[in-house]
């Protein structure tokens, strides 16, 4: 008998639960930092440029069928990027799901280093997209 095997799918959840639902409660030019932390919780990543940038991640994977030999299937991959101005109010909100991530076009021809708010978000989303394409990092290990 299989003592430790289960036929039920095991779902692994990382980050903020129900991020898509929670982000709908955030209103531009109304919600402040304290409200954001009360509604969504502490950010997964935080950055400061001209304004504060809070990034929240929700990632849900499941073990696939036994015929796939334990490969992980990506169920949910949500990213919420919040921009908060110097007075503590939410001024910009961007929500990306796994389908949106596949549509983002990255310009590979740029080689200059530019430390701006956009390059930070770009690099962050680029790393998330790599994890979508290769969740276990096997493609990168071959290089």
13-53 residue pLDDT tens: 777 888 889 989 999 999 999 999 999 999 888 887 667 89
How much is the pLDDT for 15? 77
- Residue 89's contacts (CB-CB under 8 Å, 6 or more residues apart) are 29, 30, 31, 32
Q: Please state the domain extents for the chain.
A: 11-137
Residue 17 CB neighbours (<10 A): 12
CA angle centred on 44, ends 39 and 45, rounded to 5°: 120
Residue 142 pLDDT > 70: no
The SS3 of residue 48 is strand
DSSP 67: G
């Amino acid at each position: 008998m299989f003592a430790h095997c289960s036929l039920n799918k095991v779902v692994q959840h990382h980050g903020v639960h129900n991020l898509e639902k929670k982000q709908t409660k955030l209103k531009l030019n109304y919600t402040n930092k304290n409200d954001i932390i009360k509604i969504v919780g502490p950010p997964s990543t935080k950055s400061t440029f001209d304004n504060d940038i809070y990034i929240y991640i929700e990632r849900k994977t499941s073990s696939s069928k036994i015929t796939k030999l334990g490969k992980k299937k990506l169920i949910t991959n949500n990213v919420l990027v919040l921009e908060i101005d110097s007075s503590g109010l939410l001024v910009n909100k961007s929500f990306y799901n796994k389908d949106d991530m596949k549509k983002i076009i990255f310009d590979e021809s740029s080689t200059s280093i530019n430390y701006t708010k956009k390059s930070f978000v770009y690099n962050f989303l680029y790393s998330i997209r790599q994890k979508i394409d290769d969740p276990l990092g096997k493609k990168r290990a071959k290089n």
